[in-house]
Amino acid sequence: MIEVYTDATPNGLKVSIALEELGLLYKVRRVFLGGEQMTPEFTALNPNQKIPVLVDDDVVVTESGAILFYLAEKTGKLLPKNPKARIKAIEMLFNQMSSLGPMIGQLVVFRGPWQNKAPEVTNRYFKEVSRIYGVLNKRLEGQPYFAGDEFSIADIAFLPWIRFAANVPFTADLPLAENPNLKAWLERVLARPAVQKGVAIPEPFPPEKQFEGFIKATVGVGDLHK
């Protein structure tokens, strides 16, 4: 059976959403990011000491984007068969990994743990995420999903991050409503039954513990990377 080492973070939720969409059996091993990722056992699975990690018999896959691609290749699902749509899904998967995720992550760190002590830096990340929202809105013009007519791993990659940004006070002022195609896409994908189940797996730790793990694991803020 597939095992997933994960937490209720945007990158972790990508994997549970994909597994629910695919209907695969899997076991969740929730990792407290306040230190459990530093253990020798976890480090043997991922020397980068990050979640998620997927173990499928003798195959170990790290990096959320690689896990999504692995699952799509394994099942022949969540990637369009049409070559043009397929490469568009892969392109947008890479786009999320290199742009939106890191930029929202930095915006939350500078506004949250660092309490906006460097407002010019915070503003740089806010402007960049706002710009990316506009690009994504344009990508969705005339089509329901990022690769065209089919829901794919590209949509799964973006979903938890945009959902997270819409629900966290530090990023509530991002221009989601000003980008109607993106807002409609978010509502559309969140209505999927498998998505609704996947975004609740794993159950998050109590808020104070979840935040403690976030702080401890944040390089330059927490005490895990001295």
pLDDT at 177: 98
Residues 132 and 185 in one domain: yes
Would you call 113 exposed, middle or buried from its count of C-beta atoms within 10 A (0-12, 13-18, 19+)? middle
**CATH number of residue 173's parent domain:** 1.20.1050.10
Residues 94 and 171 in one domain: yes
**CATH number of residue 55's parent domain:** 3.40.30.10
pLDDT in tens, the chain (226 residues): 999 999 999 999 999 999 999 999 999 999 999 999 999 999 999 999 999 999 999 999 999 999 999 999 999 999 999 999 999 999 999 999 999 999 999 999 999 888 899 999 999 999 999 999 999 999 999 999 999 999 999 999 999 999 999 999 999 999 999 999 999 999 999 999 999 999 999 999 998 898 888 888 888 887 887 7
Per DSSP, what are the bridge partners of residue 148?
145
Q: What is the pTM of this model?
A: 0.96
pLDDT at 215: 83
Q: E strands along 26-98, which residues?
A: 26-30, 53-56, 59-62
Residues 35 and 123 in one domain: no
Would you call 64 exposed, middle or buried from its count of C-beta atoms within 10 A (0-12, 13-18, 19+)? buried
Range of the structural domain that residue 26 is part of:
2-77+198-217
